Amino acid sequence: MKILIMFVLITFAATGRVFAQIPAEWQAAAQAVIADLERDTPLGAKPWTGAELTQGWHMARAWRKHNNGNVEIILAEYLTFVALCRQGCAGNTIEGKGYVAVAEQVKALKAQSGEAYGLATSAHAWLAALPDPTGAAAKNAAMWNKDLDMAAADFATSNLYALYWLLARARPTPAEQANTFARFAIFVQGKAWIGTRCLDISKVASVIGAPPRVEICK
């Protein structure tokens, strides 16, 4: 539990360093995690140019500035926006929409759902009810519902969770909805069933200078 919380909430201030550039550990973590998540998808064959790492960095800081009033982003925010920029984020867009407009949708969804904890509970109930042939949706809902703090205790992570739910609900089929939610929610939760695999990224950037670690759940 402590490791997972550290994974989610690590910030520049916590490390005691001031970064003029993207931390190398974060860049390596993003490539390792997202490449694994893109396995067996069309994006899996798309080469990494390095642009998505920079674009994701600037997008995450812009998102944080708009929502939190500061740019001390957490790793989950960076991973989220690098993943989005792998799909395309030209003009600071999230799947074709301006990030400010999406942030307003996030704010409205949280208010409609009873804010952070209500949103996490509702998202998990929605996920559990999806007819996912892999069984991952129900497994993830059960696993994540055991500790709502992971998604809801921090303002930044609750915003990300609402964003993931918006993105997932926009997919055309229940299977795609479940898959999308899992592939983003792992950035906040640290663990997720992706199809028939359970991945653990909670230690992916926990040691400065060490190679990123994407593990199988124990």
| Cα gap 95→184, rounded to integer Å | 14
Closest CA to 126 of 190, 118, 108: 118
The kind and range of the H/E element at 120 are helix 115-129
| Cα gap 213→204, rounded to integer Å | 4
pLDDT at 17: 41
pTM exceeds cut of 0.85? yes
Q: What is the mean pLDDT of residues 77-81?
A: 98
- pLDDT (tens digit, 9 = 90+) per residue, 102-112? 999 999 999 99
The total of other beta-carbon atoms located within 10 Å of residue 126's CB is: 17
Closest CA to 10 of 148, 188, 213: 188
The total of other beta-carbon atoms located within 10 Å of residue 215's CB is: 13
- pLDDT (tens digit, 9 = 90+) per residue, 153-183? 999 999 999 999 999 999 999 999 999 999 9
| Cα gap 120→20, rounded to integer Å | 34
| Cα gap 213→207, rounded to integer Å | 10
